[in-house]
Chain A
Amino acid sequence: MRAAVIVFPGSNCDTDMFHAVKDFTEAEVVEFVPHTANSVAAYDAIFIPGGFSYGDYLRTGAIARFAPVMKSVSEEAAKGKTIVGVCNGFQILQEAGLLPGAMKRNKDLKFICRTVDLKVENSKTRFTSSYDKGDVLRIPVAHGEGNFECDDKTYDQLQQKGQIVFTYVDDVNGSKGQIAGVQNEAGNVLGMMPHPERAMEAWLGSEDGRKLFTSVYRNWRESNVVTN
């Protein structure tokens, strides 16, 4: 597996993401790819990390979504490549129209930075197959705009098609249906507000994020590597 970690001006979780992919998958290649790159076609999995791309100006993700690299990310998403957006990465994917919904300010208007309980709602995805449905994970959140909003029709569709991948056990930020992570209809693009890449080591508080990365890797290997 060849993995890319996209870096925008203002990304600040790129190094954590890089180490999560590098240390917890058997990816042959993990590379930082700048926002100015014209193509990510050489990669099998593309990770869009958290941060404050372009200072969150206008709306979170609104400017990053037009960075040169995003055109190629959209093209690769359409081809079925694996795309994972965390926090600001999720917001960028929403702005790009690759994932449903939009983020509002947290309901109490505060930036929330703490570890929360996250429930796996769908374990039949390429991102969560190493978990079991109903698993409760301890994963940090760090966001001011994570209040997931969509219209009722979209919400029904998300439910019916198993696109709700993670929910918060408690109402953390006002998100509709306590949604914390969703995938697209095709199942190859995931966005989540909590940071699995910050939950990779027990001595840092939690290692519950590891299985997300092992899931991505295993699913790539199963569909791409011929074993005897």
Chain B
Amino acid sequence: MVNVHVYITLKEGVLDPQGKAVEHSLTALGYEGVEEVNVGKWIQLKVEDGEGLDARITAMCEQLLANPVIENYSYKVEREATV
């Protein structure tokens, strides 16, 4: 099994109301130099390794995990180090 981390964000150009609110909050707290805040989702899956892993992850992202109309996704596969 491998650990798959899927990151889902709103597409560029789609105004993110949550990101804006967090950005305003940070500014109000006195944190300067914060320009852009985006709020997204992180989904962790344990997936069977092997042939077609990328194709399987991509299919899961496109069919269910992300909504391609407004969201982008990316993922990272994490293999446990073998001793």
Contact = CB atoms under 8 A, between A and B. Distances in A.
Nearest to A100: B69
A107 B65 contact: no
B17 A150 contact: no
A66 B69 contact: no
Contact of A101 (B15, B64, B69): B69
Contacts of A105: 17-18
Given A102-B70, A104-B70, A109-B21, A58 B65 contact: yes
Contacts of B10: 104
A95 interface: yes
B65 to A, nearest CB: 7
A147 interface: yes
A150 B64 contact: no
Contacts of B71: 102
A59 interface: yes
A107 B19 CA distance: 11
A136 to B, nearest CB: 27
B14 A149 contact: yes
A106 B17 contact: yes
A107 B49 CA distance: 41
A109 B67 contact: no
B17 A102 contact: no
B31 to A, nearest CB: 20
Contact of B64 (A58, A102, A107): A58
Given A62-B64, A66-B64, A109 B17 contact: yes
Which secondary structure characterizes the binding site on chain A? loop
A105 B14 CA distance: 12
Contacts of A109: 17-18, 21
Contact of B17 (A62, A94, A147): A147
A44 B50 CA distance: 47
A171 interface: no
Given A104-B14, A107-B17, A109-B18, A149 B70 contact: yes
Give the one of A66, A94, A149 with max B CB within 10 A: A149
A162 interface: no
A149 B21 CA distance: 18
A102 B21 CA distance: 20
Contacts of A150: 69
A34 interface: no
A170 interface: no
A104 B17 contact: yes
Interface of A: 58-59, 62, 66, 94-95, 101-102, 104-109, 147, 149-150, 174
Given A102-B69, A102-B70, 15 more contacts: A58-B65, A59-B67, A101-B69, A102-B71, A104-B10, A104-B15, A104-B17, A104-B70, A107-B15, A109-B17, A149-B14, A149-B69, A149-B70, A150-B69, A174-B17
